[in-house]
Amino acid sequence: MSMILSPHREDASQRGWQYRLHIDVPLLITLVAVSALGLIVLYSAGGGDIELVERQLVRLGIAYTCMLVVAQFPPRLLQRLTPWLFVTGILFLLAVLVGGEASGGAQRWLNLYVVRFQPSEMMKLAVPMMVAWYLADTRLPPNRRQLLAAAILIAVPMLMIARQPDLGTALLIASSGIFVVFLAGLQWRLLAFFSVLVAAAAPLIWHFMRDYQRQRVMTLLNPESDPLGSGYHIIQSKIAIGSGGLFGKGWMNGTQSQLNFLPERSTDFIFAVLGEEFGFFGILLLFAFYTIIVIRGIMISIQAQDTYTRLLAGSVAMTFCVYFIVNTGMVTGVLPVVGLPLPMISYGGTSIVTLMAGFGILMSIQTHRKLLPT
Amino acid sequence: MLGRVHLKDHLFETRLITNRAILLLVAGGLLLSILLVRLLYLQVVSHEHYTTLSEDNRVKLQPLPPNRGLIFDRNGILLAENMPSYRLEITPEQVDDMGATLGALEDIIEIRNTDRSRFEKLLARKPRFEAVPLRFHLNDEEVARFSVNRHRFPGVDITAGLARHYPQGPLAVHALGYVGRIDEKALKVLDSSNYRGTSHVGKNGIEKTYEDLLHGKVGLQQVETTAQGRIIRVLKRTPPVSGSNLYLTIDSHVQKAAEQAFADFSGSAIAMDPNNGDILAFVSKPTYDPNPFVNGIDYDAYAALRNNDKEPLFNRALRGQYPPGSTVKPFMGLAGLETGITSEHSKTYCPGFYMLPGKDRKYRDWKRTGHGTVDLNSAITQSCDVYFYDLAQSMGIDRIHDYLQHFGFGKAAGIDIQGELPGLLPSKEWKRSRRDQPWFPGETIITGIGQGFFLVTPIQLAVATAALANGGQMLKPQIVHAEQEAESDELQPHHPQVLETLTIGEQQHWDMVIHAMTDVVHGARGTARSIGKDSPYMIAGKTGTAQVFGLKEEEKYDADAIAEKLRDHALFIAFAPLDDPKIAVAVIVENGGGGGSVAAPIARTIMDAYLGKPTP
């Protein structure tokens, strides 16, 4: 077939154990490095609580296992399962809206008696898979009718999740779908048109936002307006990061973190702990790891052998990129507080399992490629 | 589009996706660079600014309030102390469900509605990470009960502090006063830097007058704290200087005896050492317990005190102004002798009334049948009014005023407690300037027996009596005997102060008056002979009865028929022992009736308590 254009060709002799185990070594090494850095920061953020670190280790263990299991699934199988996964996800979301469990003011959980389960997590993967599945069978770039169909596939789960309300996840899911459409060759003028549309709809979105969400936007614009209320988080995290300087105050020595000035410091605001204790260079190290992960994901996308896997791999990689940029943007005070954790570093959450399952997909795509004749 | 077969152009699609993927990577890189610029701004450009903010967060300057000075009586008995006091605080940030927490707390600790409303007010005002007090003064049992249940209440804590306590309760409350929470009014007057961290301030009495001495000097410490304000370590510390201790001139034993002697009567008694002006007892009855005021008395209890007819909150010793009645007679007699208007042997006939020449109005004597012919001695001993009507008439109001003012009447005695009133010693000048009225001759007559405009405070009366006892020295009454700086063994005494020494024309005149006062107590016809009979020491005294309202010429005073509120005040002044006076006393019993029967026994009890005879 059209053999030619994968950037480099694989040779049977190069294939070793990593292919048999379906592991992408560069990705795995980088992920382990980020996890290790994360545990070090978490130990400090928890005030030296080793139990916290142990619980996180267990969670990481589950997540890595999940990644390796997903990596064993051939992409063909994933592709075949995609519509079922998506439909199941939508049904779960419906169930959540009807009878889900509330926690912290939002209805996100579904109690399946065996496990408490957040269907929105599932949709983080199901949505890009579905859009990729749909577009893979069409001729690219998609025409308007196909775009409309893709838009519906994205908008329905997104709105359902936004209603829970879980704005951060909804935006993340929307962007993962949009990345697929963009990779599929969304025309520039249509992109421009949609951007204008979104900008025009901003007042409407404002109207539908809950009070606390509006408050967060207002806080971003002027955190000092309410220094002890909603602006407190941002002010304290800026102080933590700013006072860290180039080299940081040293591990376990961050006064903002250790003396409890920094709220949510082991979860959503853990980036500020890193910034305070390890400084600008510590952040650079983390960003370097993140960048390697994203670049590796894009490389896998480019090397993939069919449209579905290309679109999906590109979307997974870019969604991860958005994920950490949104969190760090919020902690440094350039984006509103949307309640997304710092991927791989923040304590807790089922999101890490989804995240690693996504990397499992990347590994599957990379290691199930057919040998191409030289 | 139906029916058309789209052939996928794989080469094109691969290129398209690859290009798009690279574009996305570039876009991600751009976003990342924006973030890096932001981080450089925070961590390099504004680094110093944020370091300062972080230090400000971490290091707090914390005031260390000084311990308030203690107050003792002259014998070292504790009157005001600082007791450990526990209060219950809640940090709202750490409490998930405030309503449930309060409800559960109520089961183990009493929370009154006033506590709750104050708590809610503070809750709305303070930041969520700052502890808000819910209850003050937990008792040991409550502390224990909470400690056992502490694990159930995250965010709820007990903190210890010192609170003012008056171990003797109501004893001498009008002299001591009390402390209360600093309110906005007090804040304006106080030195705010020295009162950082201080919650209470003297509200009246000695606690207020000696506030500066008692309070001490605030200390400071630099501490590293958590966001919740929990102190991690102390970086630097300037210790506070405790307030000075005060030793009062009051003798608790005498004070207690005096307060008990009043039983249910309202009134006031001052006992003073005529040698140095020390106030030995400072009584204003009824009394009240100052302890509830320390942390804010609740509304009902305060209303009960306020609306009480007997006005326990009124400081009678300092601010009660009464007609001196017949207690003024020794001073009048001395005035007559020293000004030469009368002499030892000049006599007046008392028919039971006195009339101004050419006028019809009869000024009645308390004894309707009259005392017959009286000289100064018998006029004082039997308290003949007519003699003094005549004397006053002969002297004229201005000469009375000029002489009596040397005894301190009409101006504050100058005791070291704030709020003293001056009483009133009338004169023509006073009436013209204050009332814009001329002086009438009849007003002179009744001034002679301590009625009319004439008003004295119990302190003035005691100081004047002491001056009779010590041969004319007007002493500044003082209630603080000595002060003691914090952590010092040395007492710094307050020295007696002589405000004025009266010029004695002839010693014999003084002797005569004092002799007559001795006869009041020890003479066969003395009005206070009931207290003299069994006295182991000699007393010089004078009874008085002050009319609360005027009787018409022909009306007869009938105590039983008159409402208690309108009954006469009973007065008695005395000093003892006669040959070496150690105590001078002034007693006023409101609506007590007779000076000899009601006021004199109280004075005797006070003198007995001080001079060593145990009270029965």
User: Residue B531: what pLDDT?
Assistant: 92
Distance from CA of B125 to the nearest CA of A (A): 12
pLDDT for the residue numbered A3: 41
On average, the pLDDT of chain B sits at 88
Task: Report whether A302 contacts A310 (CB < 8 A).
Answer: yes
Chains A and B form CB pairs within 8 A to the count of 152
Residue whose C-alpha is closest to residue B330's, from B467, B504, B516, B466: B516
Q: How confident is the prediction along chain A (374 residues), in pLDDT tens digits per residue?
A: 344 344 444 444 457 888 889 999 999 999 999 999 999 999 999 888 899 999 999 999 999 999 999 999 999 999 999 999 999 999 988 888 887 666 555 666 666 555 556 888 889 999 999 999 999 988 888 888 999 999 999 999 998 888 877 778 888 899 999 999 999 998 888 889 888 888 887 777 777 777 777 777 777 666 666 665 657 888 899 999 999 999 999 998 888 888 888 888 898 899 999 999 999 999 999 999 999 999 999 999 999 999 999 999 999 999 999 999 999 999 998 888 877 899 999 997 678 999 999 999 999 999 998 876 54
B8 CB within 8 Å of a chain A CB: yes
Where does residue B410 fall: left (phi above 0), alpha (psi -120 to 50 degrees), or beta otherwise? left
CB-CB contact of B242 with B157 (8 Å):
no
Q: How far is CA A210 from CA A162, A337, B467, in A?
A: 11, 13, 83
- What residues have CB less than 8 Å from A131, skipping those under 6 apart? A150, A153, A154, A177, A180, A181, A311, A315
CATH numbers and ranges of domains, chain B:
58-83+163-223+241-248 (3.90.1310.10), 85-146 (no CATH), 252-292+316-611 (3.40.710.10)
On the 0-12 / 13-18 / 19+ scale of CB atoms within 10 A, B475 is: buried
Q: Do B43 and A332 touch (CB under 8 A)?
A: no
* DSSP code of residue A96: H
Binary contact (B43, A310; C-beta < 8 A): no
CA of A64, closest CA in chain B: separation in Å?
Answer: 26
Phi, psi angle pair for B322, to nearest 5°: -125, 155
pLDDT given at position A39: 95
Chain-centre distance for alpha carbon B534: 37
How far does the CA of residue B23 sit from the closest CA of chain A (Å)? 9
Alpha-carbon distances, residue B115 vs A40, A150, A333, B301 (angstroms)? 46, 61, 41, 15
DSSP class per residue in B124-159: HHS-TTS-EEEEEEE-HHHHHHHHHHGGG-TTEEEE
Residue B615 pLDDT = 42
What's the rounded Cα separation, in Å, for the pair B455 and B548? 12
- Closest partner residue to B21 (CB to CB) among A236, A280, A301 is A301
Do B223 and B235 contact (CB within 8 A), yes or no? yes
What residues 192-231 of chain B have any CB closer than 8 A to a CB of chain A? 224-228
Tell me the C-alpha to C-alpha distance, in Å, between residue B494 and each of B416, B480, B581, B610.
Answer: 11, 7, 21, 21
- Burial environment of residue A99 by CB neighbours within 10 A (0 to 12, 13 to 18, 19 or more): exposed
Interface with A, mutate which of B8, B16, B37, B42 (most A CBs under 10 A): B42
Specify the 3-state DSSP secondary structure of B192: coil
Span B115-172, pLDDT tens digits:
888 888 888 776 666 778 888 888 888 888 988 888 888 888 888 888 899 999 999 9
> So what's the pLDDT on residue B613?
53
Q: Under DSSP, is residue B244 helix (H, G, I), strand (E, B) or coil?
A: coil
Q: Which chain B residue has the Cα nearest residue A295?
A: B25
Task: State the Cα–Cα distance between residues A212 and A339, nearest whole angstrom.
Answer: 12
> Are A139 and B7 an interchain contact pair (Cβ–Cβ within 8 Å)?
yes
CB B352 within 8 A of CB B373: no
> How far B108 CA sits from the closest chain A CA (Å)?
30
pLDDT tens across B571-584, in order? 999 999 999 999 99
| Per-residue pLDDT tens over the stretch B173-202 | 999 999 988 877 777 777 777 887 788 899
Least confident of A252-261, B13-22, B224-233, B451-460: B224-233
Q: Does B5 contact chain A (CB < 8 Å)?
A: no
- The pLDDT of residue B616: 41
Output the DSSP codes for B553-593.
TT----GGGS-GGGSPEEEEEEEE-SSS--EEEEEEETT--
Closest residue in chain A to residue B128, using alpha carbons only = A228
pLDDT given at position B65 = 86
CA-CA-CA-CA dihedral for B142, B87, B67, B249, to nearest 10: -60
Spatial neighbors of B107 by CB under 8 A, at least 6 apart, are none
Residues of chain A contacting B93 with CB distance shorter than 8 Å: none
Residues 444-503, chain B, touching A (beta carbon < 8 A): none
Residue in B514, B366, B529 with CA at minimum distance from that of residue B450: B366
B96-114 average pLDDT score: 86
Q: Distance (Å, rounded) from C-alpha B455 to C-alpha B450?
A: 8
Pick from A199, A185, A176, A61: nearest CA to A130: A176
The tokens for B511 are 């002797």
| Spatial separation of the C-alpha atoms in residues B196 and B208, rounded to whole Å | 18
CB contacts, 8 Å: B96 with chain A: none
ipTM score for this prediction: 0.90
Is there a contact between B54 and A256 if contact means CB atoms under 8 Å apart? yes
Q: Are B585 and B608 in contact (CB under 8 A)?
A: no
- Per CB-CB distance under 8 Å, the chain B contacts of A140 are 8, 12-13, 16-17
Token pair 């005001």 is found at B80
Residues of B annotated as catalytic (active site), given as ranges: 326
Give A153's contacts (C-beta < 8 A, 6+ positions apart).
A86, A127, A130, A131, A134, A177
Integer CA distances (angstroms), B57 to A45, B50, B223, in order:
18, 10, 11
Q: Do B39 and A240 touch (CB under 8 A)?
A: no
Q: Which of residues 47-76 of B touch A (CB under 8 A)?
A: 47, 49-51, 53-54, 57-58
Q: Using an 8 Å Cβ cutoff, are B412 and B425 in contact?
A: no
Task: Specify the length of chain A in residues.
Answer: 374
Mean of pLDDT values over B24-41: 95
Q: Could you give the angle at the alpha carbon of B46 between the alpha carbons of B41 and B50, nearest 5°?
A: 125
Quick check: B17 and A311 CB within 8 A?
A: yes
pLDDT for position A7: 46
* HEC secondary structure over B454-468: CEECHHHHHHHHHHH
Q: Least CB-CB distance to B38: which of A245, A295, A332?
A: A332
Largest CA distance in chain A: 66
Question: What is the structure's pLDDT at B222?
Answer: 83
> Looking at residue A110, what is its pLDDT?
66
Q: Any alpha helices (H) in chain A, and if so which ranges? A: 17-20, 25-45, 50-72, 75-99, 119-136, 144-162, 167-183, 188-208, 211-221, 232-244, 255-258, 270-303, 307-331, 351-367
Using CA atoms, how far residue A339 sits from A172, A220, A237, A261, in Å, is: 11, 13, 14, 18
How distant is the alpha carbon of residue B476 from its chain centre? 19
Q: Tell me the two tokens of residue B75.
A: 């014998």
B39 touches chain A (CB under 8 A): yes
Residues of A within 8 A of B58 (CB-CB) are 255-256, 259, 261
- Chain B residue with minimal CA distance to A236? B54
pLDDT of residue A9: 47
pLDDT at A52: 92
Between strands B540-546 and B569-576, the pairing is antiparallel
Q: Which amino acid is at B88?
A: L
Element (H, E) at B118: helix B113-125
- In this predicted structure, what is the pLDDT of residue A20? 86
Minimum Cα–Cα distance from B229: chain A residue: A259
CB contact under 8 A, B50 and A239: yes
B236 to chain A, closest Cα gap in Å: 18
Query: Per residue in B402-442, pLDDT tens?
Result: 999 999 999 999 999 999 999 999 999 999 998 899 999 88
Number of residues that make up chain B: 616
- CA–CA dist B172, B281 (Å, integer): 8
> In Å, how far is A248's CA from the nearest CA of chain B?
9
A336: CB partners within 8 A, 6+ apart: A216, A217, A219, A220, A330
List the single best residue of A103, A135, A140 to mutate versus B (max B Cβ within 10 A). Answer: A140
**Contact in structure between B252 and B171 (CB atoms under 8 Å):** yes
Cross-strand partners of B405 = none
SS3 of B374, please? strand
